[in-house]
Chain A
Amino acid sequence: MPELLNPGVIFTLGAFVTLFLAAGLRRYFMLAVIAFSATVTWQMDLGNYGNLQLFGETLTVTRYDVLSRLFVVVFHIAAALNVIYGWHIKDRVENFSALAYPGAAMGGVLAGDWLTLFVWWEMAAITSVFLVLGPRSRSTYMAAMRYLAIQIASGVLLLAGIVLVYRESGSLMFEALALRNEAGDLNFGPLLVFIAFGIKSAFPLLHNWVQDSYPKASITGTIMLSVFTTKLAVYALARGFAGTGELIWLGAFMTLFPIFFALIENDLKKVLCYSINNQVGFMVVGIGVGTATAVNGAVGYAFGNIIFESLLFMSLGAAIYRTGTSKATELGGIYRTMPLTMTLCVVGALSISAFPGTLGFVTKGLIIDGVAEEHLMLIWLILLFASAGVLEHAGIKIPFFTFFAHDSGKRPKEAPPQMLIAMGIGAVLCIGIGLYPDPLYALLPYQDQIAGYHPYTSYHLIEQFQLLLFAVLAFVVLQKTGWYPAEVPSVNLDFDWLYRVPGRAFLGWVITSVAAIWHLVWDNLVRFMEAVARGLHHTHGPEGALSRTWPIGFMALFTAIVLGIMLIVTFLI
């Protein structure tokens, strides 16, 4: 049985225990669970564990190898940071999700076979929906249902894909799949799996659930959501579809379009959600390229992104916690009273923009190098362009509009200590690993390649400084000339408009017309039945009792119809 005890299982069991604990005790217990799971993981050697026999197939509950190790490590860090950050939270559901959801993500990362992956995949969807549901209002409820529907759709596609893949290959092991066969045609089973992964990693046009649901969650909920679901999908893509050419273009597009939406978005939470899309895009490109450098870069960047993205979310969250709004138009000028939060936010912003000396710098360079090595000129230019975009919306917009910009007049208190501690740890990791990246590099899957890589070469430094400093210069120029667009309270249409407005209208139309037809048929049927019953009533039966008998009559009528159809059809054939 200890064979089965992997972090995913430990977290999940722990989550269920939290349901029964008193509110004050829960947070200590949650930290203890994370610490225990980390110890178990620490002592685990690379290899496969927990092999189960199930209808003649071997399931591998835990596959602890170089690729999954990195994700498990960073998920532990993120889960711990989140518990610390949300030390004040006493909500049972949120505490439950704070363990169950990372647990599901880790279980998925460690899954060695498709079936186990599927289980955790669905678990991640179900446990995270509680986070979206968190504040419990009508709009969050609707968003949560949309979120759940999309996540489950991903699960259903995955299961269908798994069945097909299993039929074809006869193996349930979660290994790399070929999206196309030798003739270049799409393989159907892998395609379904690909789309399932794509939904979770928010491929372009499948991305809207991120912006739709994440901002609806509570502050801590959003931070957690930003970490696990998409990164689990990134891992799954890296495992299943590394080197799939389609991913390069998908990823490149993913890095591009959020930039523009983020620019004009007023809700800073949503800006960060677009940033998630953009960031995952970088990883997807790396996975698509599929060379040792690129994959190292992709998973390394996933590691880094989890740290600095949540640092940004946390600092924004602290501002929201103190001011009660996430709108750029209503924030601003609060650096006066929240200097520490502001500083930590800037660290995160520098890091996500990949300024030298930060976590972003030492990981993003790998992806761009990977692309350059393959001489993919256009992609390379797009990624550089997207880097400027990252600087724009995550590096400048978030700290600038949250803490500086126009003075909103708000003078909130500094963030509470537990938040500062969590953000502080995140910031230390950003800078620490940025300056001394070797421990992170030791976790990357392709050690041969990384051994010869040095991020701090003069050329790399110059290139990065030129790109970023001149971009900042452009910002300053735009700001001074007044060309930089002012923030206005608005909501921006995105692809989700299609299903939220015309789709909804269409659905409403279908429902009303179906209802109309149904009423028509039903009323006539009832009238017909009543006529029949009244006819019988004249010759037989006592007064009343019509309303009582008609359900039976209705059933009898159906029986007669079924029999009639059966007779006609069998006679005619």
Chain B
Amino acid sequence: MIHFPGLEHLPALPVIIPLIAAPFTIVMRPGRTPWLWATLVSWVTFACTLLLLEVVWHGGPTEYKMGGWAAPLGITYYIDLANALVMMLVAAMAAVVFPYAYFSVKSEIARAQSPAFYTAMIICLTGLLGVAATGDAFNVFVFLEISSLSTYALVAMGARRDRRALTAAFNYLVMGTIGATFYVIGLGLLYQATGTLNMLDLHERLAGQDNKVVEAGFAFIVTGIGLKLAMVPLHLWLPNAYGFAPSAVTAFLAATATKVQIYLMVRFIYTVFGFEFPFLEVALNAFLILGIVGMFYASFVAVFRDNVKQMLAYSSVAQIGYMLLGISFGTVDGLTASFVHIFNHALIKAALFMGVGCVVLRIGSSQLTAFRGLARRMPWTTWALVLSGLSLIGVPPTVGFISKFKLMEAAFQTTTLIPPLLVVLLIGASSLLAAVYVGRLIYTMVLEQPPENAPAIKEAPHAMRVALWIMVIANIYFFFFTDLTVGVATQAAEALMCSQAGCGGAY
């Protein structure tokens, strides 16, 4: 008797669908087919995550037992608003970037490799969704590696355009592996202390344990995830990896990979550990300082970069600083601001990197000089870049403003090492730096003359432009309609923080 799986499987579907779709992709004929297939898969997955978000939003957290084994023995997927939002975000980015990828991939990657490329993309999507979905700490590691390994391959595929992609991928591989190893070591220590791997169960069994094993486990896990999310000073793998990867990969990764890691960090800090542990305060203070250092250090580097991809990559490092800052406040508002920024920054960076991808496609370079006089040569791309650049600075009416506003609002209510007002001013000052490097880009594009005897070029293909502008419009749309971002983020943050006060479960 065949049952058609219904809504009860919804938590697992976003992971299962791309997982099953991936092997089909590898055996497809190179060219258009794998792309169409990947696009279809990303859309179906996106639909599932949307449905899931809807269910969780109105019906509360849901749970899915893998193989029918109950927690803490079996692996369970727990979806609350926080993961649902992150999953939706990841799938949404895939649903926009995959259609966009075709022309970009066609020009940047050997035709014979295209099935492998889309397979890796889908597997990466699987991994990222898996990390977000699962409620089992070891399962997190597995999915972390699934996404990371495919990412290394994807970054290395940039080698056709620039051989340095190989070095970048190798650096990334070494660092990513160290990060994952640290994570697993930390997890091993926690397992030794508690005998469980289920996050909820870990939280319960960790309560009251205050010994060296748990402390060391905590340190390893925070460092490991910190490396994966490119927390300053563990960020050095990121600029090269993003800078040399194929454009579509950069757009997808910049919008999703570090965001999922941030989510994971939040999950560990607030769900698995909690304020009972005195070292949590220390970690939060560390985030505060590293976040601020990152905001400035990376922005300064970005100001002086001449490669736009790398400039934006460093800007990503700086933006991660904002997210860490939000986490470090240890308040509902701070966490909300972080989640909002995760969402908004994904929109911003996806749009920016997609715009840069269009330029790379047509001009063949992401050096700043290639952008000279772009306004006249590729107006659609230019204005998309301008708008999303303004969003990065935080100019209304774009989502970047909502992020900054929320973060400043949260900063005002906190009592941290650094006086709130100073934090607010620092946020403002680093926005100023963003204004400088984005201003440089805009100035080059809009006000400078195109180079003499520059060959006439066409606008980017329709598929890319449409995808790009969808992101740009999303950047503006979510300024006016903040139910999804601020609304969900607030509830998610409340749910996460509530577990501290002991109201309801950890989820």
A and B touch in the complex (CB under 8 A): yes
- Cβ of B51 within 8 Å of any chain A Cβ, yes or no, is no
- Which B residue sits closest to A573, measured CB to CB? B278
* Residues of chain A in range 508-560 having any CB-CB distance to chain B below 8 Å: 548, 551-552, 554-556, 558-559
Query: Which of B13-21, B83-91, B212-220 participates in binding chain A?
Result: B212-220
Q: Mark A108-133, 1 if CB is under 8 A from B, else 0.
A: 00000001001100100000001000
- Which B residue sits closest to A561, measured CB to CB? B233
Q: Within 8 Å CB of B446, what residues of A?
A: 19
- Cβ of B286 within 8 Å of any chain A Cβ, yes or no, is yes
- Report the bound CA distance from A565 to B218 in whole Å: 12
Q: Mark B421-449, 1 if CB is under 8 A from A, else 0.
A: 10011001101100100000000001100
Query: Which of B67-75, B126-134, B137-145, B174-182 participates in binding chain A?
Result: B174-182
Instruction: For the complex, count residues of A whose C-beta is within 8 A of B.
Output: 38
From A160, A552, A554, A559, give the contact of B223 (CB < 8 A): A559
- Cβ of A488 within 8 Å of any chain B Cβ, yes or no, is no
Interchain nearest-CB distance for B485 vs A (Å) = 10
- Cβ of A566 within 8 Å of any chain B Cβ, yes or no, is yes
Q: Is the CB of B167 within 8 A of A566?
A: no
- Cβ of A457 within 8 Å of any chain B Cβ, yes or no, is no
From A52, A160, A548, A559, give the contact of B425 (CB < 8 A): A160
Q: Is the CB of B282 within 8 A of A569?
A: yes
Q: Mark B178-203, 1 if CB is under 8 A from A, else 0.
A: 11001000000000000000000000
- Report the bound CA distance from A571 to B278 in whole Å: 10
Q: Within 8 Å CB of B425, what residues of A?
A: 156, 160
From A54, A92, A119, give the contact of B480 (CB < 8 A): A54
- Which B residue sits closest to A145, measured CB to CB? B436
Question: Once A and B bind, how many residue pairs between them come within 8 Å at the CB atom?
Answer: 102
Q: Is the CB of B486 within 8 A of A562?
A: no
- Cβ of B236 within 8 Å of any chain A Cβ, yes or no, is yes
- Cβ of B60 within 8 Å of any chain A Cβ, yes or no, is no
Q: Mark B231-263, 1 if CB is under 8 A from A, else 0.
A: 001101100000000000000000000000000
- Cβ of B395 within 8 Å of any chain A Cβ, yes or no, is yes
A163-B409 in contact given A570-B215, A570-B218 (Cβ < 8 Å): yes
Q: Is the CB of A555 within 8 A of B234?
A: yes
A115-B396 in contact given A159-B408, A563-B223, A571-B212 (Cβ < 8 Å): yes
- Cβ of B380 within 8 Å of any chain A Cβ, yes or no, is no
* Residues of chain B in range 380-431 having any CB-CB distance to chain A below 8 Å: 395-397, 402, 405, 408-409, 412, 421, 424-425, 428-429, 431
Q: Is the CB of B219 within 8 A of A567?
A: yes
A548-B237 in contact given A52-B480, A119-B395, A159-B408 (Cβ < 8 Å): no
* Residues of chain A in range 33-70 having any CB-CB distance to chain B below 8 Å: 52, 54-55
* Residues of chain A in range 493-511 having any CB-CB distance to chain B below 8 Å: none
Q: Is the CB of B171 within 8 A of A552?
A: yes
Q: Is the interface of A mostly helix, strand, loop or mixed?
A: helix
- Report the bound CA distance from A163 to B278 in whole Å: 32
- Report the bound CA distance from A522 to B219 in whole Å: 26
Q: Is the CB of A556 within 8 A of B428?
A: no
* Residues of chain A in range 161-194 having any CB-CB distance to chain B below 8 Å: 163-164, 167
Q: Within 8 Å CB of B286, what residues of A?
A: 565-566, 569
- Of the listed residues A122, A160, A164, the one surrounded by the most CB atoms of chain B closer than 10 A to its CB is A160
- Report the bound CA distance from A548 to B408 in whole Å: 42
Q: Is the CB of B432 within 8 A of A163?
A: no
- Cβ of A206 within 8 Å of any chain B Cβ, yes or no, is no
- Of the listed residues A55, A115, A571, the one surrounded by the most CB atoms of chain B closer than 10 A to its CB is A55
Q: Is the interface of B mostly helix, strand, loop or mixed?
A: helix
Interchain nearest-CB distance for B217 vs A (Å) = 10
Q: Within 8 Å CB of B432, what residues of A?
A: 149, 152, 156
Interchain nearest-CB distance for A57 vs B (Å) = 11
A55-B396 in contact given A163-B409, A555-B175, A558-B233 (Cβ < 8 Å): no
- Cβ of B375 within 8 Å of any chain A Cβ, yes or no, is yes
Q: Is the CB of B447 within 8 A of A93?
A: yes
A569-B223 in contact given A548-B167, A552-B175 (Cβ < 8 Å): no
Q: Is the CB of B219 within 8 A of A566?
A: yes
- Report the bound CA distance from A144 to B178 in whole Å: 46
From A122, A551, A569, give the contact of B171 (CB < 8 A): A551
Interchain nearest-CB distance for A276 vs B (Å) = 26
Interchain nearest-CB distance for B432 vs A (Å) = 5
Q: Within 8 Å CB of B182, what residues of A?
A: 559, 563
Q: Within 8 Å CB of A555, what residues of B?
A: 171, 174-175, 234, 236-237
Q: Within 8 Å CB of A130, what residues of B?
A: 447
Q: Is the CB of B223 within 8 A of A556?
A: no
- Report the bound CA distance from A163 to B410 in whole Å: 10
Interchain nearest-CB distance for B489 vs A (Å) = 12
- Cβ of B226 within 8 Å of any chain A Cβ, yes or no, is yes
13 extra interface residue pairs, beta carbon distance < 8 Å, beyond A555-B236, A569-B282, A571-B216? A119-B396, A156-B428, A160-B408, A167-B409, A554-B236, A555-B234, A561-B233, A562-B226, A562-B233, A562-B234, A566-B218, A566-B223, A570-B216
Q: Which B residues are within 8 Å of any A CB, using their own CB?
A: 167, 171, 174-175, 178-179, 182, 212, 215-216, 218-220, 222-223, 226-227, 233-234, 236-237, 278-279, 282-283, 286, 375, 379, 395-397, 402, 405, 408-409, 412, 421, 424-425, 428-429, 431-432, 435, 446-447, 479-480, 482, 486
> What are the nearest 3 A-B pairs in CB distance?
A156-B428, A566-B219, A570-B279
Q: List 28 A-B contacts (CB under 8 A).
A: A52-B480, A54-B479, A122-B395, A156-B432, A159-B408, A160-B408, A160-B421, A160-B428, A163-B405, A163-B424, A548-B167, A551-B236, A552-B174, A552-B175, A555-B171, A555-B174, A555-B234, A556-B175, A558-B233, A559-B178, A559-B223, A559-B227, A561-B233, A563-B220, A565-B286, A567-B216, A569-B286, A573-B279
